[in-house]
């Protein structure tokens, strides 16, 4: 492939990398996958087998890979609609196709400079910098193999309207349907869910010269904005709050709370009869959604006599996919030295595409990371 023309909308990029977490495709993949995810943490296979039961319950296959294939197809369709012919490749941090495999494919197809979409919208070590470390390791390995590829990425997009407005619409639609069906709005609560992380990781999320807690602050800002949007659109006065799921690690290590199941208990005791659960921390319905929410939280709600309605993730929602393409165009404009519009909602703080020094540090060991100033 030759370099894209200077007037190509994605110039100087000649390829797009979709980078995700990855997951097992069959039962015999589960343990190797979990070993990769927990590498360096000294977790014995016995404990990993316990965690693996979540996957075995669904046939040993994570839904995330098929969801990425569907997202790739949706991105291709949106790019084609806009007459943007830039090719796509897909890689994972924790399972095949690994990131370096995607770079090999890209290089074999003539791509030399890629722009990356990470399937994680927020700022923290695990949701941003760890992907940047993975990119650095993959580019280094590709270089050792004689391949010439370079990689940039789009900005964290929790408050890009393509993501945030899509979530607001999905929550509003769910509440509207409930109210129209006769549900008592006075006994209805909004619960926004994201993946819990260690409190130390949250405290250090964001650039090193700021107050930290960027991960939880971003989620709380979006939760509050969506609640306000629902109330304004439907003329309601609902309360919304942020809760967490998927806690792991030793019991002695503090993680963000409250857990969604614990909070459901408290809401039922407090008189709630209906709970709208919105997984705004996730891009698609992967294991943390279909097990932690659709299975465990749903069982908790049933036991408590709560009606639980789970809002869809953005997945391949047209507004979300269109927003991702907008972010690609924005990043390409920046790479050309332009100053493209950088829309944000809630707030006006669009995160930088190149992370500032000290952003979301690795608290265990220092590693090289791409797409940042350090």
The model's pLDDT over 163-214, given as tens digits with 9 standing for 90+, comes to 999 999 999 999 999 999 999 999 999 999 999 999 999 999 999 888 999 9
3-state secondary structure of 257: coil
pLDDT at 51: 84
3-state secondary structure of 65: helix
pLDDT at 1: 54
User: Total structural domains in the chain?
Assistant: 2
pLDDT at 256: 98
pLDDT digits (tens, 9 = 90+) for 291-321: 999 999 999 999 999 999 999 999 999 999 9
149 located within any domain: yes
Nearest-angstrom CA–CA distance, 123 and 153: 14
pLDDT at 2: 63
Same domain, 116 and 175: no
Same domain, 172 and 237: yes
Same domain, 68 and 28: yes
344 located within any domain: no
Same domain, 270 and 212: yes
Instruction: Please list the ranges in the chain whose pLDDT falls under 50.
Output: none
Same domain, 22 and 151: yes
Same domain, 165 and 306: yes
363 located within any domain: no
pLDDT at 40: 80
Domain that holds residue 249: 161-310
Are 297 and 262 spatial neighbours (Cβ–Cβ below 8 Å)? no
245 located within any domain: yes
Q: What is the CATH number of the domain that holds 70?
A: 3.40.50.1400
Nearest-angstrom CA–CA distance, 128 and 359: 9
Same domain, 209 and 331: no
Nearest-angstrom CA–CA distance, 361 and 290: 30
């Amino acid at each position: 492939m030759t370099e894209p023309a200077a007037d190509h909308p994605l110039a100087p990029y000649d390829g797009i990398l979709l980078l995700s977490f990855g997951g097992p495709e069959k039962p015999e993949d589960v343990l190797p996958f979990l070993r990769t995810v927990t590498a360096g943490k000294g977790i014995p296979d016995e404990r990993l087998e316990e965690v693996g039961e979540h996957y075995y319950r669904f046939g040993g296959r994570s839904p995330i890979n098929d969801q990425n294939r569907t997202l790739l197809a949706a991105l291709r369709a949106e790019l084609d609609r806009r007459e943007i012919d830039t090719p796509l490749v897909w890689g994972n941090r924790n399972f095949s196709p690994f990131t370096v495999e995607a770079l090999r494919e890209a290089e074999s197809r003539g791509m030399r400079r890629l722009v990356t979409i990470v399937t994680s919208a927020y700022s923290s070590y695990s949701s941003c910098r760890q992907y940047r470390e993975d990119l650095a390791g993959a580019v280094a390995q590709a270089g050792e193999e004689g391949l010439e590829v370079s990689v940039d990425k789009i900005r964290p997009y929790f408050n890009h309207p393509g993501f945030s407005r899509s979530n607001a619409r999905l929550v509003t639609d769910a509440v509207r349907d409930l109210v129209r069906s006769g549900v008592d709005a006075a006994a209805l609560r909004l619960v926004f869910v994201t993946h819990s992380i260690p409190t130390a990781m949250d405290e250090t999320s964001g650039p090193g010269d700021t107050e930290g807690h960027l991960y939880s602050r971003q989620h709380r800002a979006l939760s509050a904005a969506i609640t306000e949007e629902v109330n304004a659109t439907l003329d309601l006065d609902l309360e919304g709050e942020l809760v967490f799921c998927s806690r792991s690690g030793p019991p002695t290590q503090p993680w963000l709370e409250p857990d969604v199941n614990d909070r459901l208990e408290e809401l039922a005791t407090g008189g709630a009869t209906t709970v709208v659960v919105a997984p705004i921390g996730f891009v698609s319905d992967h294991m943390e959604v279909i097990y932690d929410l659709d299975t465990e939280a749903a069982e908790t709600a049933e036991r408590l006599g709560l009606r639980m309605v789970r809002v869809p993730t953005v997945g391949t929602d047209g507004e979300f996919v269109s927003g991702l393409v907008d972010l690609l165009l924005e990043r390409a404009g920046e790479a050309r030295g332009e100053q493209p519009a950088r829309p944000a909602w809630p707030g006006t703080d669009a995160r930088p595409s190149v992370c500032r020094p000290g952003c979301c540090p690795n608290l265990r060991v220092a590693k090289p990371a791409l797409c940042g100033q350090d």
